[in-house]
Chain A
């Protein structure tokens, strides 16, 4: 969905101010209603579209029982530049990766990122199954399992993510609308309730971990709808085996512009919730001492008949990537309670609380 489009837009990045969309001479593939997702082909990349991402987040448990959040994201961007250039360096396809660990003992994110043009085996993506890599950072599918490998400056992880069922299509069979105008849409499916296992290395110490994770795979060619200041998104793994994905687009005054949700029952049955059935209500704000931005880190989320309260693992999960991407966002682990009882865990993403998020 579009929440990540802003990040994908940043794939163009180092230090460039995000400008207005360029009237590209390139014809990007369009997202059309009625196309059904086809697996395994749709696990792979769709290089004709402008943006695409594989976005894994989740909760891990260290051997001593303490919790740890992780994020592993690969973006693919078709730049529209160099389409006719015969050079092997032609920057037609760019790859961007974000990796983070949310460690409550540190109280803020460990974070690193990479960006490269596809080619020379240095960076690339696979078409027939999930696979994206930049150097020795990889996210790939092996059989039905995923593997995320990251070696960053002050942390590393090597995780295997095993799904418990078929992909969960968001929207109408994977056609996920972002506005009333059907042109603003993406192809979008999620893999909730991934059983995570592997190792995490922090400060040179490698430890075995296990936990539950969430994967989003989404591709589109459309920019953010007009009038949207930013968005809020959650992906929640419930303890009873159920799952919930919900997002909303916000106007500058904070009022909702569009919203949607997908709910998976413990038995695997899925249903889509319309915009009016989804409501985000902020409960508590935390102001970042670095950026000065006030983030609503706790939420009451209504999805159909159910009402959840989301509470962060810790407040400071702000990710400042202004130096490279020009954007500040909040991407963090949250606990989920319902009627005062913890019912699950998930990830919350918030954008556009500082400057408006710009999309290409």
Chain B
């Protein structure tokens, strides 16, 4: 009872302290809000997208126990008859899936050719519903297409309207005959009769998928084992969840990376709590000593100070979780479920509230608050009351000595961590290395500050000498302000270096991949558009065209449970000089050359010189890995073969794209117009490589927009930390300012002194941050990106912008210090000195 009573009485003492230093508390709070909000938003967006993706996949898979899936070009439809006749199979539903290109629409639409009768028993959710009053064979009619509600909205069409579907470069007119009531409201999807799709849009005799419902008592594993033997090479039997797992795996690295950025923001928040608490503890030493003297135990003082941090953390956590959901909602509405990165295109998931995850993020905020308050609280609790009650002791501040040995050890540990292999596809070692680098550089910061103080010249105007002397005498103050700056600068610099290297590499890569004068394509690579042999001949015959290189896109399924692997067939020389190769080329061997992307190298373990079997046109073909190329598009890997080899091996003479070299005297615009005129308007797209590069880089920048925003916010918070530290310090140094004024130092000179102190503290933080950021940037490039996304990049340091950024930060810190000190300087000198006597 007495304890409780005392606790009640103490609450205003401690929690009131938070209210007294509003500015510092506000910045700590803001940083925690930001960290929690970002983490929460990333989590909420991704969970919503994944849940929606999974739900929609489950709807589309219906009650199918197994799915037979083939390469993009599909497989022979006789397999359907064979599988359906097997005793293990109760029902089989054949499907032709195609990304339909619609004339006059930029986006493609997933089009399913279905047998409604088989569908009813396996995947009833896809059943079309003809509009009221429709003919009774409406769902079978070969010009009838059924659109999900989302597809109708996206295309701006309604029942009865007509759509032009591109097939090859011809267009087929279909009529919207009804809707798909069983399909999720957020899923864009079209359904037609399978015979109509085969005959009018896709290929006769080919299926892309068969859904199987197994006979009672047959386990999927057993059926898979016995049915797999029937399948031609490259056709796999999957459990329907496989696609969901693959999507989750694919997007996981991106999600974890964003979460790591959020963790950095949270770390910054913890630092701000630390610096605010450290300074506050210094100012309140007398107060604490008094409390201790009247009987408050060391443990309770410690607990109360931790409580202050926890309150800030809890408030920040709750506000952050709320803000995070708001951000997630906005992101889902504006960018869709993949934050602009393209993993879940076609989905518009609604926001989901996950109480457990939200609680976890609030808890993280509390942890950041408590962790930030830990060291200052321990410091305050260990001080002997008698000593602390003496005046003039406030200048001593924790962290003044630093732990250089521990710091060096952390830096060394980061080297080891960076060398670790990925854990279940995640670069955990890389993240550990980043954490070690940050911790190490912060632990080394006091030593750096002391070193700087020694190096500073003892000449010059009085304010400069005063500032330098202060740094030498009480480096702790500067260190506390600098630590926050270091964290945010390190983060920002690392991201800047990584993104600049990435962008530079992508730009160089685009230049190398797009050497021709013009590019022509028939719809999206996965779509229903293609160039047939006759059209290819007509393209080559257009006046002004000197050379044409055609490209064919296919996807292969190498093994069950693995995502389909894109195969690109285009003209490739024996030495692969057209490709952005990484490492050497192996020419030996008679088999056709296969060029693998870095992701295939990492994920499949294939090496140059190795012989591998690929399922081409339904049979296994041996190829030789000739080299590794860099691919910034297909994170799951991609294969490339020479077009002539591909055509010889598969007999597939179609093409999707063409790279066109112009004759010396040809006018690009005239040739482009002549090419477009080969097919109905809109069927062929002709682009200049410069346009493609611009579009690609725009996409790149959009993807990194989130990280730019994070960087900016981290820097603002770092600056806020400087301002808060100096505001607190300035208040504590009123007597010092008063004394200086008595000694004849002008207000203006004190201002200069403060500015230089701020610049010095920030300069030390910025310098440390740039070094740490460079190291972290290297880790991001060489470890985190390589292990997450399997692509390498060339280091490109944006020296100019980093320098501008560093100088601006130092200047802003100086300004912040002056502004923060203004309050203290305004006081009458006499009053300031007298105050304590």
B138 close to A16 (CB less than 8 A): yes
Give CA–CA (A79, B138) in the complex, Å: 10
A16 close to B85 (CB less than 8 A): no
Give CA–CA (A15, B193) in the complex, Å: 15
Give CA–CA (A81, B130) in the complex, Å: 15
B137 close to A79 (CB less than 8 A): yes
A117 part of interface (Cβ distance < 8 Å): yes
B139 part of interface (Cβ distance < 8 Å): yes
Considering the complex, give the chain A residue whose CB is closest to the CB of B89. Answer: A135
Considering the complex, give the chain B residue whose CB is closest to the CB of A122. Answer: B84
Give CA–CA (A86, B200) in the complex, Å: 10
**Which chain A residues numbered 118 to 138 have a C-beta less than 8 Å away from chain B?**
120-122, 135
Instruction: For chain A, give the interface size range.
Output: 20 to 34
Q: Which of B77, B117, B138 contacts A88 (CB 8 A)?
A: B77
**Using an 8 Å CB-CB cutoff, how does the interface string of B107-145 with A read, 1 for contact, 0 for none?**
000000001111010000001011011111111111000
Q: Which of A15, A86, A91, A360 contacts B140 (CB 8 A)?
A: A91
CB distance from B205 to the nearest CB of A (A): 7
Give CA–CA (A17, B78) in the complex, Å: 33
B94 part of interface (Cβ distance < 8 Å): yes
Task: Given A117-B117, A120-B81, A122-B84, verify A85-B137 contact (CB < 8 Å).
Answer: no
A121 close to B81 (CB less than 8 A): yes
Chain B residues within 8 Å of A14, by CB: 116-117, 120, 127, 139
B194 part of interface (Cβ distance < 8 Å): yes
B199 part of interface (Cβ distance < 8 Å): yes
Chain A residues within 8 Å of B127, by CB: 14-15
B136 close to A85 (CB less than 8 A): no
CB distance from A155 to the nearest CB of B (A): 14
Give CA–CA (A94, B120) in the complex, Å: 15
**Which chain A residues numbered 96 to 131 have a C-beta less than 8 Å away from chain B?**
115-117, 120-122
**Which chain B residues numbered 498 to 525 have a C-beta less than 8 Å away from chain A?**
none
Task: Given A9-B136, A12-B136, verify A120-B205 contact (CB < 8 Å).
Answer: no
Chain B residues within 8 Å of A82, by CB: 140, 142, 193, 195-196
Chain A residues within 8 Å of B130, by CB: 16-17, 19
CB distance from B689 to the nearest CB of A (A): 40
B84 close to A90 (CB less than 8 A): no
CB distance from B397 to the nearest CB of A (A): 76
CB distance from B455 to the nearest CB of A (A): 82
Q: Which of B120, B132, B136, B205 contacts A360 (CB 8 A)?
A: B136
B117 close to A89 (CB less than 8 A): no
A87 part of interface (Cβ distance < 8 Å): yes
A80 part of interface (Cβ distance < 8 Å): yes
Task: Given A81-B142, A82-B140, A120-B84, verify A17-B132 contact (CB < 8 Å).
Answer: yes
Chain B residues within 8 Å of A87, by CB: 194-196, 198-199, 204
**Which chain B residues numbered 163 to 221 have a C-beta less than 8 Å away from chain A?**
193-196, 198-199, 204-205
A293 part of interface (Cβ distance < 8 Å): no
Give CA–CA (A115, B137) in the complex, Å: 14
B115 close to A117 (CB less than 8 A): yes
A18 part of interface (Cβ distance < 8 Å): yes
A205 part of interface (Cβ distance < 8 Å): no
A22 part of interface (Cβ distance < 8 Å): yes
A19 close to B142 (CB less than 8 A): no
B135 close to A86 (CB less than 8 A): no
Give CA–CA (A334, B426) in the complex, Å: 72
B135 close to A22 (CB less than 8 A): yes
B80 part of interface (Cβ distance < 8 Å): yes
Chain B residues within 8 Å of A18, by CB: 136
A89 close to B194 (CB less than 8 A): yes
Chain B residues within 8 Å of A12, by CB: 136-137, 140
Chain B residues within 8 Å of A90, by CB: 195, 199
Task: Given A14-B127, A87-B204, A89-B198, verify A19-B134 contact (CB < 8 Å).
Answer: yes
Chain B residues within 8 Å of A88, by CB: 77, 195, 204-205
Chain A residues within 8 Å of B135, by CB: 19-20, 22
Chain A residues within 8 Å of B134, by CB: 16-17, 19
Give CA–CA (A88, B139) in the complex, Å: 17
Give CA–CA (A85, B132) in the complex, Å: 26
Q: Which of B81, B120, B132, B195 contacts A91 (CB 8 A)?
A: B195
Give CA–CA (A90, B195) in the complex, Å: 5
CB distance from A82 to the nearest CB of B (A): 5
B141 close to A81 (CB less than 8 A): yes
Task: Given A9-B136, A116-B117, A116-B118, verify A86-B204 contact (CB < 8 Å).
Answer: yes
Chain B residues within 8 Å of A324, by CB: 120
Q: Which of B84, B116, B138, B194 contacts A19 (CB 8 A)?
A: B138
Give CA–CA (A324, B117) in the complex, Å: 11
A122 close to B204 (CB less than 8 A): no
CB distance from B265 to the nearest CB of A (A): 52
CB distance from B819 to the nearest CB of A (A): 72
B80 close to A120 (CB less than 8 A): yes
**Using an 8 Å CB-CB cutoff, how does the interface string of A37-76 with B read, 1 for contact, 0 for none?**
0000000000000000000000000000000000000000
**Which chain B residues numbered 327 to 353 have a C-beta less than 8 Å away from chain A?**
none
Give CA–CA (A19, B195) in the complex, Å: 22
CB distance from B138 to the nearest CB of A (A): 7
Chain A residues within 8 Å of B78, by CB: 120
**Using an 8 Å CB-CB cutoff, how does the interface string of A250-261 with B read, 1 for contact, 0 for none?**
000000000000
Give CA–CA (A94, B117) in the complex, Å: 10
B196 close to A16 (CB less than 8 A): no
**Which chain B residues numbered 426 to 440 have a C-beta less than 8 Å away from chain A?**
none
A19 close to B136 (CB less than 8 A): yes
Considering the complex, give the chain A residue whose CB is closest to the CB of B198. Answer: A87
CB distance from B108 to the nearest CB of A (A): 22
CB distance from B207 to the nearest CB of A (A): 9
Chain A residues within 8 Å of B137, by CB: 12, 22, 79-81, 91
B117 close to A115 (CB less than 8 A): yes
CB distance from A138 to the nearest CB of B (A): 13
Chain B residues within 8 Å of A135, by CB: 84
Give CA–CA (A121, B81) in the complex, Å: 7
Of A20, A80, A122, most buried by chain B (CB within 10 Å of CB) is: A122
Of A16, A82, A89, most buried by chain B (CB within 10 Å of CB) is: A89
CB distance from A75 to the nearest CB of B (A): 13
Give CA–CA (A183, B127) in the complex, Å: 36
Considering the complex, give the chain B residue whose CB is closest to the CB of A89. Answer: B195
Give CA–CA (A81, B141) in the complex, Å: 6
Chain B residues within 8 Å of A86, by CB: 199, 204
A121 close to B132 (CB less than 8 A): no
Give CA–CA (A328, B816) in the complex, Å: 83
Chain B residues within 8 Å of A122, by CB: 81, 84-85
Give CA–CA (A16, B199) in the complex, Å: 24
CB distance from B216 to the nearest CB of A (A): 10
Chain A residues within 8 Å of B196, by CB: 82, 85, 87
Chain A residues within 8 Å of B116, by CB: 14
Task: Given A22-B135, A117-B117, verify A85-B195 contact (CB < 8 Å).
Answer: yes
A16 close to B195 (CB less than 8 A): no
CB distance from B604 to the nearest CB of A (A): 36
B94 close to A79 (CB less than 8 A): no
B195 close to A121 (CB less than 8 A): no
Give CA–CA (A81, B129) in the complex, Å: 17
**Using an 8 Å CB-CB cutoff, how does the interface string of A324-360 with B read, 1 for contact, 0 for none?**
1000000000000000000000000000000000001
CB distance from B54 to the nearest CB of A (A): 26
Complex A-B: 6 CB contacts under 8 Å:
A14-B117, A16-B134, A20-B133, A91-B137, A91-B193, A122-B84
Residues of B within 8 A of A (CB): 77-78, 80-81, 84-85, 94, 115-118, 120, 127, 129-130, 132-142, 193-196, 198-199, 204-205
Residues of A within 8 A of B (CB): 9, 12-20, 22, 79-82, 85-91, 94, 115-117, 120-122, 135, 324, 360
8 nearest A-B pairs in the assembled complex, by CB-CB distance: A87-B195, A89-B195, A120-B81, A87-B198, A22-B135, A90-B195, A91-B140, A12-B136
Known: A17-B134, A87-B194. 9 other contacts (CB 8 A): A18-B136, A19-B138, A20-B133, A22-B137, A82-B196, A86-B204, A89-B195, A91-B140, A135-B84
